[in-house]
């Protein structure tokens, strides 16, 4: 008697799409079911229907706001359409999308693609559910539209009533009735407006506050732009405002009148103080403490070394180190200029000496170094951008397209190595996608070759006489660009003793390297330990 051989069923994969909206006041409790609870229900469904969970996609954002990126949602839908999964499980149709029927029709129109909404008991494998799924999608979209309008109308009404709807502006606090009143740092706000009305610049005000130990709302030192935003904000006059691209504007109600947002009796900045520093900022009123013509003529111009100088006492890690900025006639540690004591060993050096020595070292480097040296290759690349900016920009854009195309190929390889394309169908899909990506790389390279230029002619730089003449006939701005052809940054070191003459050994110059440059193998290969061959 022949035995009956059982054939194992092929493994079917399901993805779970879990989404929880951002917490919104007034949202129904059922609408914010936790991701963990959704996952438990999804796993139970997969077990009952003999599916193996391939991947779980999690989101914590709104699904109806236009322009909101949903990478997890997009990846889940693409996995289903590309055949990586056999089914996509979602707890509720409103958890899937609130953009309307378009987001479900892309699946309904593809045979063999299964979409399940657990709470609604809807399944695309059931023909009768198709129309209900489309209807649910449109209902969710309409619900979101109405909710959005209600929230917008509520906020508009509250704004008309003079209620503050956001976090309290610096120096104020919000009362229980959503009104503003002076807070812990109100004295700082008053000081800023009074000093500006007396003619102090934003930078001078910021330096004074930082030196006295005050910190901005983010905890860092005051900056001139922070002071400027405070001075321009009408909220400190007591009025309701709205924000457009980071700038505060006076809010007017339906009758064209401003709305009071400060609590009754609360102190505000006087209108005459506000108007005075606004007239000074607009140039209609002269500052009382402006420098004389003679003093303005003594003000130094921007140095060609500005932006290149760093304080060696703060360490040489670009992410943690300190820049050296101009203070009077010297380059000095940046935090020290702001009145901070965060640098363990701040340094300074005369500006004229720094510029002279740095220029000498730059000329020595470009006129005596071999053209095949990495630094000179970087100089040649930069010289093209400096002398032929249009051609350089086209070549840079084309090279960027090559990089993007190569990254796409690398990403496909990583996904394939992680098992994102299982089975025969997955392998065929991967091969097709990778072939198309490789073709994009070749196309990008052809485009680059069409605009690529040879290395710049730097004969004017490597000739000592011509180089010196170019430097002497250039203005401060162009000299700075010349320095940047070869120099990445410069670390200013401490003088060995007070009054010591600044020499080249006090400038730790980091020379540039060309794009994509890697050191020769013998430079980075680990040397054998003692006793090893």
DSSP secondary structure, 110-152, as one string: STT-EEEETTTTEETTSTTHHHHHHHHHHHHHHHHHHHHHHHH
Distance set, CA 105 to CA 81, 114, 116, 214, 242 (Å): 12, 12, 14, 58, 40
The length of the chain, given as a count of residues: 533
**Residue 332: in which H helix or E strand, if any?**
strand 330-333
DSSP 166: S
Residue 299: pLDDT above 50? Answer: no
The pLDDT value given to residue 361: 95
Residue 203: pLDDT above 80? Answer: yes
The pLDDT value given to residue 290: 54
Averaged pLDDT for residues 471-487: 88
Q: Rounded CA gap, 311 and 328, in Å?
A: 16
Residue 201: pLDDT above 60? Answer: yes
The pLDDT value given to residue 363: 93
The pLDDT value given to residue 287: 62
Query: What is the pLDDT confidence band of residue 525, given thresholds at 50, 70 and 90?
Result: very low
Query: What is the pLDDT confidence band of residue 167, given thresholds at 50, 70 and 90?
Result: confident
DSSP secondary structure, 460-520, as one string: HHHSHHHHHHHHHTS-HHHHHHHHHHHEEEEEEPPPSSTTPPP-GGGEEEEE---TT----
Query: For 203-212, which contacts have Cβ atoms below 8 Å and span 24 or more sequence positions?
Result: 207/338, 207/339, 210/338, 210/339, 210/340, 211/338, 211/339
Question: By the 8 A CB rule, do 238 and 261 touch?
Answer: yes
Crossing angle (nearest 10°) for helices 351-368 and 464-472: 150
Give the distance from CA 60 to its chain's centroid. Answer: 21
Q: Which residues, listed in sequence order, are joined to residue 342 by a DSSP beta bridge? A: none
Question: By the 8 A CB rule, do 517 and 377 touch?
Answer: yes
The pLDDT value given to residue 368: 92
The pLDDT value given to residue 393: 56
Query: What is the pLDDT confidence band of residue 510, given thresholds at 50, 70 and 90?
Result: very high
* Average pLDDT in the chain: 78
Averaged pLDDT for residues 507-526: 70
Give 7-64 pLDDT, tens digit per residue: 567 888 999 988 876 544 444 434 445 788 888 999 999 999 889 999 998 887 655 5
The pLDDT value given to residue 443: 79
Residues 6+ apart with CB under 8 A from 253: 160, 259
Nearest CA to 394 among 386, 385, 403?
385
* All structural domains of the chain: 13-154 (3.40.50.1390), 172-294 (3.90.1750.20), 300-388+453-520 (no CATH)
Residue 395: pLDDT above 60? Answer: no
The pLDDT value given to residue 295: 47
Percent of the chain with pLDDT over 70: 78
The pLDDT value given to residue 528: 42
Nearest CA to 238 among 273, 196, 269?
269
The pLDDT value given to residue 460: 84
């Amino acid at each position: 008697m022949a035995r009956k051989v059982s054939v194992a069923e092929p493994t079917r994969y399901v993805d779970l799409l879990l989404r929880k909206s951002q917490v919104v006041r007034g949202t129904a409790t059922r609408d914010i079911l936790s991701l963990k609870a959704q996952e438990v229900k999804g796993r139970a469904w997969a077990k009952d229907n003999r599916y193996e969970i391939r991947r779980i996609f999690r989101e914590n954002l709104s699904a109806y706001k236009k322009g909101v990126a949903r990478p997890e949602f997009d990846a889940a839908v693409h996995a289903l359409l590309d055949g990586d999964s056999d089914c996509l499980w979602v707890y509720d149709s409103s958890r899937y999308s609130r953009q309307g029927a378009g987001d479900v029709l892309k699946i309904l129109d593809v045979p063999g693609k299964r979409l399940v909404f657990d709470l609604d008991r809807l399944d695309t494998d059931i023909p009768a559910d198709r129309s209900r799924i489309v209807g649910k999608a449109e209902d969710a979209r309409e619900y979101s539209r109405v909710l959005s309008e209600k929230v917008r109308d509520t906020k508009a009404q509250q704004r008309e009533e003079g209620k503050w709807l956001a976090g309290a502006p610096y120096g104020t606090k919000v009362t229980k009735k959503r009104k503003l009143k002076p807070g812990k740092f109100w004295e700082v706000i008053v000081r800023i407006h009074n000093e500006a009305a007396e003619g102090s610049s934003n930078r001078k005000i910021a330096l004074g506050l930082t030196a006295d130990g005050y910190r901005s709302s983010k905890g860092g030192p005051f900056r001139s732009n922070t002071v400027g935003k405070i001075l321009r904000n009408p909220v400190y006059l007591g009025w309701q405002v709205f924000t457009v691209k980071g700038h505060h504007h006076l809010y007017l109600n339906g009758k064209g009148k401003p709305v009071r947002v400060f609590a009754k009796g609360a102190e505000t900045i006087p209108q005459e103080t506000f108007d005075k520093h606004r007239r000074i900022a607009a140039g209609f009123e002269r500052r009382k403490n402006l420098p004389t013509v003679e003093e303005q003529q003594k003000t130094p111009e921007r140095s060609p070394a500005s932006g290149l100088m760093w304080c060696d006492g703060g360490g040489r890690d670009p992410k943690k180190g300190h820049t050296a900025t101009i203070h009077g006639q010297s380059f000095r540690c940046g935090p020290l200029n702001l009145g901070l004591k965060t640098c363990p060993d701040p340094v300074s050096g005369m500006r004229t000496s720094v510029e002279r020595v740095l220029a000498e070292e730059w000329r020595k480097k470009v006129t005596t170094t071999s053209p095949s040296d990495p630094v000179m290759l970087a100089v040649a690349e930069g010289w093209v951008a400096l002398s032929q900016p249009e051609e350089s920009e086209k070549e840079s854009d084309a090279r960027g397209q090559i990089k993007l195309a190569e990254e796409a190929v690398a990403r496909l390889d990583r996904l394939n190595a992680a098992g994102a394309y299982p089975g025969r169908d997955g392998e065929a899909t991967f091969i097709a996608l990778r072939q198309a990506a490789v073709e994009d790389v070749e196309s990008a390279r052809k485009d680059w070759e069409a605009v690529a230029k040879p290395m710049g002619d730097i004969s004017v730089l490597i000739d000592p006489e011509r180089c010196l003449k170019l430097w002497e006939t250039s203005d401060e701005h162009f000299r700075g660009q010349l320095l940047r052809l070869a120099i990445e940054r410069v670390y200013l070191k401490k003088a060995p003793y007070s009054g010591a003459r600044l020499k080249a050994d006090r400038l730790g110059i980091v020379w540039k390297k060309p794009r994509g440059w890697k050191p020769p193998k013998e430079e980075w290969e680990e040397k054998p330990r003692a006793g090893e061959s």
